[in-house]
Structure 1
Amino acid sequence: MTALLHRTGGAGDADRPAPKGAAQIDLSREVADYTGRFGPDGGYRRPGRADRTEIAAAVGLLLDGHREQAEQRLSQRDFTVRTVVDRPSGHRYVEVADRTDAAVTPRGWGRVYLDADHRPSWSVQVPHPAFDLGTEQLGVQVLRGSPGGVMVIAGAHRKAGAGNSADVAHRTDTVFHAICAELARRGMPGIQLHGFAASAAPDYDVIASTGAGTAARPEGRELADALRGHGFDVCRAWVRSCPLEGRTNMQGRTADADHVPFLHVEFSPTIRAGGRPAERAAAAIAEITRRWAGKPVTD
């Protein structure tokens, strides 16, 4: 499927001054402050169908370059849009955020960061921030590592809300899923980051899977090879039976239905703890995401 995306930046954009009024932030700190409020007793309200549809459609308008229309539609759903400059990387992103994030009872509908310097062409998805500790920071490193990325972060702890209503990886009635489905509809490949307990797979550092589909099998092999090259032991779900293969993941199922590459990757606590292991994992992922962005791996 051909991605119908608008290029939000052009040649030489990296040398442009920041847009007037753009907030100067450290994206890793911003995300840490955001997800640091999440907990199993935190707020989560199940969105209605109209909420999910309108928010996802507005993100699509942003991808198509129709920011004013997107802002109007998002504002009607109590979401804000702003341009931010990530000081450590110098990259510009468009942030889509829920206005209720700082409220006493937040809805927990999530946040999105879109590359404002390059045509968005792939996504990194963080469905269980604060529950799969460190995946949100790994997501930031992955977003920074390649041009054209879109990072989608769930807005609540996996155990927040009634039942499993906030477990966005296994539900379709969430804002997170609606946005990821919109990206898949546009042909954008995605990588979803998870974490496993050391006891769940003691012989491995990473469990790599293509979820319910096979469209990302070539990228899966390349990623597993790259991770191995960085010193990690990888369980390849297309070769042998692995725990936590993500075959019931709903974003993966949606991507499979659209014949779009999707990678479901589980990381050990050591990698998710940050430092050099996380940097090496992000570097391995960049070998895939840079191809998705149409950039040479060694560029």
Structure 2
Amino acid sequence: MTVHRKTKTIALASALVLLGALIASAFALTDGRSGSGTSRDDEAARHRPEPRATPSPSGPPRDELERRVVEFAAPFRGDSGYRVPSPADRRAVAESVGLVLDGKREEAGQTLSRVGYQLRTLVDAGTGRTYAELSDRSDTVPAPRGWGRVYIDLSSPVRWSVQAPHPVADARTERLGARALLGSPGGVLVIAGAHRDAGRGNSADVAHRRDTVFAAVCDELAERGLPGIQVHGFADDSDPDHDAIASTGTGMAGRAAGKILADALRGEGFDVCRAWARSCPLEGTENVEGRKAAAENVPFLHVEFSNTVRTDDARTRRAVIAVNTLTARWAAGQRNTGQD
């Protein structure tokens, strides 16, 4: 009787273990889904959707900073949460960026801690440069606020920025931004903390909302006179004649920089639509960071790259080489004219 009861107990335990494994497997499959990789018109209408995201042909990230950026953005989905930051939250992060730029890192860390952010430093093995990372502690919890990150080169005078407002939504623009930062000294990378469709309405679309940490940080940079390039992505059939669309948005200060970038992209074999010379789709005239740069008379470029450019590593490398042709001039202090 005792043996029979033990046999029943063992059989029941085995069944429960098997059931638990099946449930865990189901959850793993659900959590492992990636974002759709779609991209929308930067003005009003939606782009034609890109194909559903597939494993990247570009291989693993090359450097430590790029790896951290890619891993940070990987969980972003259109149905994930987003919390609108308060004015005090936005101001604290933006002021902390300014404090880091002024060499006051201890004070910046204290300011960040009051709003749940943290300041770290990392040395990128590929470049040997040291970067400050301003990140939200909520990134590690199940429901992050989605306010984004900032990376600042601590090894050189900071003179320019690259901005990635739609990571994952504009597939792999987060990687393009990281590589642009690593390609020239003296840069700042501002990356959004959520998919553009997260949250309610367009609350997480940082390229079109003023009430975001992303916009507040970019305002700080523009007010300090730092030129910037903002990277976006479009579906190939939204403009099949071009690989890239370069625009200065509503401003004029970026015209010379735009010509340098467009010429460099053409030199790498890309067809470029130059919005200052002809009518182009996706010119970014409603972009809030571009409007702020225009108000400050600071060079700003809104650059769209096709899906083919962003998802083919050889093309991505060539695009980054072209971008760094411009950012190297900015790093050397040639802000306005782009001339030697």
Deviation at 1:260, TM superposition (A): 0.3
Aligned counterparts of 2:197 and 2:96: Cα–Cα separation in 1: 28
1:142 alignment partner in structure 2: 180
Deviation at 1:274, TM superposition (A): 4.1
* Correspondence 1:97 to 2:135: yes
Aligned counterparts of 2:73 and 2:293: Cα–Cα separation in 1: 26
Aligned counterparts of 1:200 and 1:269: Cα–Cα separation in 2: 10
Given the alignment, which residue of 192, 202, 223 partners 2:240? 202
Contact conserved, 2:89 with 2:115, CA < 8 A, in 1? yes
Aligned counterparts of 2:178 and 2:95: Cα–Cα separation in 1: 24
SS in 1 for 2:246: strand
Report the AA paired with residue 264 of structure 1.
Answer: H
Report the AA paired with residue 156 of structure 1.
Answer: A
Give CA deviations for 1:24-61 in whole Å, capped at 9, x if unaligned.
x7122211110001101112100011111111011101
**Could you say which structure has the larger radius of gyration?**
2
Deviation at 1:295, TM superposition (A): 7.0
Report the AA paired with residue 313 of structure 2.
Answer: G
**Higher mean C-alpha deviation, range 81-90 or range 283-292:** 81-90
Aligned residues: 273
Identity of matched residues, %: 58
Deviation at 1:89, TM superposition (A): 2.4
Aligned counterparts of 1:89 and 1:276: Cα–Cα separation in 2: 20
Query: Runs of 5+ in structure 2 lacking a partner?
Result: 1-62
Query: Runs of 5+ in structure 1 lacking a partner?
Result: 1-24
Aligned counterparts of 2:254 and 2:70: Cα–Cα separation in 1: 30
Aligned counterparts of 1:141 and 1:52: Cα–Cα separation in 2: 26
SS in 2 for 1:168: coil
Aligned counterparts of 1:295 and 1:257: Cα–Cα separation in 2: 21
When normalised by structure 2's length, the TM-score is 0.79
Report the AA paired with residue 64 of structure 1.
Answer: D
1:214 alignment partner in structure 2: 252
Report the AA paired with residue 203 of structure 2.
Answer: S
Aligned counterparts of 1:134 and 1:35: Cα–Cα separation in 2: 9
Contact conserved, 1:134 with 1:274, CA < 8 A, in 2? no
When normalised by structure 1's length, the TM-score is 0.89
Quote the RMSD (CA, aligned, Å): 1.2
Report the AA paired with residue 266 of structure 2.
Answer: R
Contact conserved, 2:185 with 2:328, CA < 8 A, in 1? yes
1:103-114 → structure 2 map (5 Å cutoff): 103-114=141-152
Aligned counterparts of 1:27 and 1:67: Cα–Cα separation in 2: 19
Given the alignment, which residue of 68, 83, 95 partners 1:30? 68
1:285-296 → structure 2 map (5 Å cutoff): 285-294=323-332
Report the AA paired with residue 141 of structure 1.
Answer: R
Give CA deviations for 1:177-232 in whole Å, capped at 9, x if unaligned.
00000000000000000000111100000000001111000010111011000000
Report the AA paired with residue 151 of structure 1.
Answer: L
* Correspondence 1:273 to 2:311: yes
**Higher mean C-alpha deviation, range 82-91 or range 193-202:** 82-91
Aligned counterparts of 1:71 and 1:95: Cα–Cα separation in 2: 11
2:265 alignment partner in structure 1: 227
Give CA deviations for 1:241-280 in whole Å, capped at 9, x if unaligned.
1000000000000000000000000001111114110111
